[in-house]
Chains A and B, each alone.
Chain A
Amino acid sequence: MSDNDQQLRVSKIRNGTVIDHIAGGQALNVLAILGIDGTSGDSVSVAMNMPSDRLGHKDVVKVEGRELSQDEVDVLSLIASAATINIIRDYDVVEKRRVERPSVVEGVLECPNHNCITTEDEPVDSRFAVGDDGVRCEYCDTIIRDDLPAHILAE
């Protein structure tokens, strides 16, 4: 059975975005990084640890009624570099987007340096430059290499 058939088995969406080939177990982090917590009324389905030829195990996230922007998609690359993004209209895939690493992510991660000004109640978002093997706070220079999901900002 192909990945595509499994995807259909989870649920079919009419309009929205399907994020496929997320590394197994990362789906909830993907939702966090996209700021999707269910409160906005979007219908969201999540399948975790599906068998996958390419990844061994993968997660799939479907967001009904919302087309992710390229910026949002790019931020996903921090934790799901192998993800594929399908934009769905009227049950058809109308666009496949590639995940590319952005040069900067804003307001997505929390700086782990508790003495960083971005952790204070100031009118700035966190801002991290994205490098080959980590991200770096543009305010205090702190580098995060491992464990990026632990630093995703709670809404």
Chain B
Amino acid sequence: MRHDHIISAKQLSRGDIETVLDHAADIAADPGAFADRHSDTLLGMLFFEPSTRTKMSFTTAMKRLGGDIVDMGSVESSSVKKGESLADTVRVVEGYTDALVLRHPMEGSAKMASEFVDVPLVNAGDGAGQHPTQTLLDLYTIRENAGFDDLTIGIMGDLKYGRTVHSLAHALTTVDARQHFISPESLQLPRSVRYDLHEAGAEVREHTDLDEILPDLDVLYVTRIQAERFPDESEYREVAGQYQIDADTLAAAKDDLTVMHPLPRVDEIAHDVDETTHAQYFQQAHNGVPVRMALLDLMLGGDK
């Protein structure tokens, strides 16, 4: 794998994905073997919007590889004054560090930033755009639980604004998964994603009702529907309930259905699902560390 910057799941081929996931599996099997791998490396953390989990996951990954991080802190308290361009900020910080992780509220910010720096840059989420490391850890979890062969996956919730969904859908085309999208009509996939899936020749179906498709699924990927996406509260409440699952809902599913969620959840997955063998969302979150270790190791010149 040779990418200087990781901006979008779209840039990852099937081979790239397998390389990262295989390497992550090696790391997960024996993390100690990688503990001094990058002891001279400093990773610059540029988080222009709060994301404690993603930041902690990258920080843990870098430290587990023996390296360290420098953190610009929260935007409010840092010297990154309102008014300095993102292009200037990344050019300054690249002088301090060996690689950059960027989270920014605007779409396309990571791509733009990558055009101004020579050190590798990882997109840790750009607005409603892309979040490729989330996609990689999602794929790792899917491969561990259901495999990539003959895979039928349902993706449910806010498909319009959910960047994790957009990245994942694209990546799933590289493994020829059958994809079912379940959402209220107002939150269906955006045009650009439909277009890409169509271009990739993906097998895609859209549903408004989970019951139609639940028994066929190997994986159910749930995302949150946010109240603020609806013009009024009552409309939200009418819709939201239909896209919540509990242990009873899953009685109709295959015994080995894997339930995933990018977290944090609110009430779209009831707590009684946690106790079932379906629940993999906490493991999914934990997988972020070996996957990000693998990605950083490969980007920073690991052996593969």
- A contact residues around B127 at 8 Å (CB): 115, 140
B125-147, CB < 8 A from A: 126-129
Question: Which of B106, B115, B191 is in CB contact (< 8 Å) with A116?
Answer: B106
For chain A, the bracket of interface size reads 10 to 19
A122:B112 contact, CB within 8 angstroms: yes
Do the beta carbons of B87 and A122 come within 8 Å of each other?
Answer: yes
Residues of B within 8 A of A142 (CB): 107, 192
Cα(A140)–Cα(B111), bound, Å: 9
The interface size of chain B toward A, counting residues with CB under 8 Å, comes to: 19
Q: Which residues from A are CB-within-8-Å of B128?
A: 115
Decide yes or no: A140 and B195 within 8 Å by CB, A117-B86, A123-B87, A124-B87 being known contacts: no
Instruction: Please tell me if A139 contacts chain B, counting CB pairs below 8 Å.
Output: yes
- The answer to whether A141 has its CB under 8 Å from any CB of chain B is yes
B173 in the interface, Cβ–Cβ < 8 Å?
A: no
User: What 0/1 readout, one digit per residue, does chain B (96-135) give for beta carbons within 8 Å of chain A?
Assistant: 0000000011111101100100000000001111000000
* Bound CA span A141–B86, Å: 20
**B87, A140: Cβ atoms closer than 8 Å:** no
Neighbouring B residues of A113 by C-beta, 8 Å: 107
Given contacts A115-B128, A122-B86, A123-B87, whether A138 and B106 have CB atoms under 8 Å apart is no
Contact among B106, B111, B126, B191 with A120 in the assembled complex (CB-CB below 8 Å): B106
Complex interface: chain A residues within 8 A of B107 (CB): 113, 115-117, 139-142
Residues of chain B with a CB closer than 8 A to A118's CB: 108, 112
Q: Are B115 and A124 in contact (CB under 8 A)?
A: yes
Q: Is the CB of B86 within 8 A of A143?
A: no
Counting chain A CB atoms within 10 Å of each CB, which of B105, B106, B108, B126 scores highest? B108
Compute how far the CA of A140 lies from the CA of B191 in the bound complex, rounded to whole angstroms: 12
**Any chain B CB within 8 A of the CB of A147?**
no
Residues of A within 8 A of B (CB): 113, 115-118, 120-124, 136-143
Binding site for A on B (CB under 8 A): 85-87, 104-109, 111-112, 115, 126-129, 191-192, 195
